């Protein structure tokens, strides 16, 4: 399967989605100019991008997509007379309308992604979006359909339909789920993939993050029993490895392709760590997707 022009990275909070988004954007940027967009609001991904600015080979830029900023840009597009659009945005009545129309700010962010993907297709670029955590991300992706029902005719209906068509177009849009080898993260990823299928949205796959080898066999751990603290650490390491194996199986059984990233033993990620992850994704994910598409 060829990868879409825009990849939307989401997952349970704490599963490393911002790191995966940054690493994936870095991997893409070695092949094509790439935009890394921040939809999370915390802009944690921006710090990871800043770490990489010294990489002369990375054709990578950063874009913050905010609800207010995109709402203003949207109004300026549909009301091209600046004086009129500014008056609308400053109007108390307009504020009441936007508050009364649920999902409008979320919709304009979706519209921004649609335009970003279209520009990427025209200019042979790619975009990676650091999205909100799974629950909020699924709510965001459902907004266009809800607005289309609220506005059965007119321009908003046409724009909502265009966004819905964008979201189900595998050449333009796809979702990557990030997962840790933990029960709650695994369950949430499988449920999110099912929800995406119901929306008709392509789930490109899951990134199983923080995978560590067991290091010790059960017999070796038993020999460590006199050293209680060491034995507990060794047993925990083995449990994590075994759960990663189980997560891989269950994701694949749910029809979700899996790519693994190793545990990074750092208190804070630095440029070298993000670069290492990006090279793994380039080989194990981008190359694998390209091979599958041939």
Q: Is the pLDDT of residue 96 over 50?
A: no
> Taking the mean position of all CA atoms in its chain, how far away is CA 32?
19
- The pLDDT score that the predictor gives to residue 57 is 47
Could you report how far apart the first and last alpha carbons of the chain are, in Å?
Answer: 8
Q: Is the pLDDT of residue 17 over 60?
A: yes
Beta bridge partners of 174: 7
- Give the closest residue to 204 by CA, choosing from 149, 281, 133, 276: 281
Stronger pLDDT, 256 or 288, i.e. the higher one: 256
* CB atoms near residue 102 (< 10 Å): 13
How many Cα neighbours within 13 Å face the side chain of 205? 20
Q: What is the mean pLDDT of the chain?
A: 83
- The pLDDT score that the predictor gives to residue 3 is 92
- Model's pTM, two decimal places? 0.86
| Over residues 228-250, mean pLDDT | 86
Distance CA 214, CA 237 (A): 6
The model's pLDDT over 44-62, given as tens digits with 9 standing for 90+, comes to: 666 676 544 545 445 889 8
| Over residues 242-247, mean pLDDT | 92
> In sequence order, which residues have a C-beta less than 8 Å from that of residue 16 and are 6 or more positions away?
178, 180, 207, 209, 210, 261
> In sequence order, which residues have a C-beta less than 8 Å from that of residue 78 and are 6 or more positions away?
155
Distance CA 284, CA 203 (A): 17
- What is the set of domains in the chain, with CATH numbers? 6-210+255-293 (3.40.50.300)
Confidence of residue 100 (pLDDT cuts 50, 70, 90): very low
Stronger pLDDT, 265 or 13, i.e. the higher one: 13
- Give the closest residue to 134 by CA, choosing from 268, 4, 15: 15
């Amino acid at each position: 399967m060829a990868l879409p022009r825009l990849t939307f990275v989401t997952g349970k909070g704490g599963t490393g989605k911002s790191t995966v988004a940054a690493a994936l954007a870095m991997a893409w940027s070695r092949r094509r100019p790439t935009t890394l967009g921040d939809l999370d609001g915390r802009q944690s991904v921006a710090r990871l991008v800043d770490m990489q600015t010294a990489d002369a080979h990375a054709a990578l830029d950063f874009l913050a997509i905010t609800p207010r900023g995109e709402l203003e840009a949207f109004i300026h597009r549909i009301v091209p007379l600046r004086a009129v659009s500014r008056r609308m945005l400053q109007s108390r009545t307009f504020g009441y309308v936007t508050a009364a129309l649920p999902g409008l700010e979320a919709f304009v962010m979706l519209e921004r992604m649609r335009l970003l993907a279209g520009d990427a297709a025209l200019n042979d670029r790619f975009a990676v979006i650091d999205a909100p955590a799974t629950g909020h991300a699924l709510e965001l992706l459902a907004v266009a359909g809800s607005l289309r029902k609220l506005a059965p005719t007119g321009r908003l209906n046409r724009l909502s339909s265009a966004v819905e068509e964008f979201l189900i177009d595998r050449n333009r849009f796809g979702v990557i789920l990030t997962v840790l080898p933990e029960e709650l993260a695994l369950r949430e990823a499988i449920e999110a993939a099912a929800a995406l299928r119901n929306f008709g949205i392509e789930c490109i796959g899951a990134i199983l993050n923080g995978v560590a080898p067991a290091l010790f066999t059960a017999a070796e751990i038993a020999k460590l029993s006199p050293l209680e603290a060491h034995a507990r650490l060794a047993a925990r390491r083995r449990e994590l490895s075994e759960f990663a194996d189980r997560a891989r199986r269950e994701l694949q059984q749910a029809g979700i392709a899996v790519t693994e990233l190793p545990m990074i033993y750092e208190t804070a990620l630095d440029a070298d760590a993000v670069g290492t992850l990006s090279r793994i994704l380039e080989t194990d994910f981008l190359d694998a997707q390209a091979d599958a598409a041939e």
